[in-house]
Structure 1
């Protein structure tokens, strides 16, 4: 069933189809995450951290934003908006994490000592997640101005992800559910008594003759 079509509610579907939809909602973001993580560990990262890296970071954030906009539209048009919202968030989150992990890894390779300890690719992911979750164990911390600026950049992106993106997704889910209730939009005569609606058969009935 394509986006924008209104079908039966998820709870009303046959058990087999409901399980298939749930499995697909989990499997697609899982495969996307596996692909992104595999690329993160396999792609060579031997370029120095410089203007090209900063530009790549900005373009990457713009790409994540574009992905979010597209996913939001898909959620509002999906016949099952809640499932689609889970897929959307599961696709956006690893993209953002790996984008900043790549930046931290390249920065440490280019400018040794940018952090309190040398970062492997796994360390970079670990540090990115601790910044995102605001846990702050203190075992890894930025030391140079460039590293701290990049961390601030991530903090701002995290605030947007947790605040704005969550709000946008919830609104998209609300619109999608509203489309299920009123797929054709509000009716102009909705809420009027049947006797007051134009074209109602009651208006043409002359009543019993005297």
Structure 2
């Protein structure tokens, strides 16, 4: 067999995960989101102090960065990097959004004039998602300087998530696939899920 007849490892299609693996990944992602949403609704955000809310938001954003780093490593080592990346996005984006929703609910409770209307937990999620999606229906608007600064911080963080985090995760998928093709050609090397 000539070298031209042997297909390059990079040209071989990535093996597809089984239906069981896809369902398990979806179940894990849904489970994490369910826990996060439950915590968001159970926590007494409307009875928290501004200092506590700021601490939770800043600590949470640092935790988000750490979560993305851990997920990138898992993608790089995964047998199915594309599937693992979808799971990573499905858990990290809701975590990110719920951090800001919690901050909005706390700010609205501590300073009732901060927004054009009062914010329940559900309103907080709704407002956060409209800012994230850059829709801005105008039914909930920041009125105080603190609220405007917080929304501005979210918009800037949204740009970082769109631009940097998604790019990093996609690069991890590319490298994970490349690593997988390299491992597939090297005898005796094991892989993670």
TM-score w.r.t. the length of structure 2 is 0.85
CA contact (8 A) 1:179 1:185 kept: no
Structure 1 residue 34, shift from structure 2 partner: 0.6
Specify the SS of the correspondent of 2:112: coil
Runs of 5+ consecutive residues of structure 1 not aligned to the other structure: 1-7, 187-210
Matched pairs, number: 174
Greater helix proportion = 2
Determine which structure has more spread, i.e. the larger CA radius of gyration: 1
Aligned ranges for residues 1-210 of structure 1 at < 5 Å? 9-11=14-16, 18-183=18-183
Alpha-carbon distance in 2 for matches of 1:44, 1:147: 19
CA contact (8 A) 2:116 2:141 kept: yes
**Stretch moving more, 43-52 or 99-108:** 43-52
Alpha-carbon distance in 2 for matches of 1:30, 1:149: 32
Alpha-carbon distance in 1 for matches of 2:185, 2:155: 40
Structure 1 residue 9, shift from structure 2 partner: 4.3
Specify the SS of the correspondent of 2:116: coil
TM-score w.r.t. the length of structure 1 is 0.78
Alpha-carbon distance in 2 for matches of 1:125, 1:158: 15
What is the Cα-based RMSD across aligned positions, in Å? 1.8
Structure 1 residue 56, shift from structure 2 partner: 1.8
Alpha-carbon distance in 2 for matches of 1:48, 1:82: 39
Structure 1 residue 180, shift from structure 2 partner: 1.6
Structure 1 residue 51, shift from structure 2 partner: 2.6
**Stretch moving more, 35-44 or 119-128:** 35-44
Specify the SS of the correspondent of 1:113: helix
Structure 1 residue 46, shift from structure 2 partner: 4.4
Structure 1 residue 185, shift from structure 2 partner: 8.8
Alpha-carbon distance in 1 for matches of 2:38, 2:52: 23
The match for 1:208 is none
Runs of 5+ consecutive residues of structure 2 not aligned to the other structure: 1-12, 187-193
The match for 2:3 is none
Alpha-carbon distance in 2 for matches of 1:104, 1:120: 9
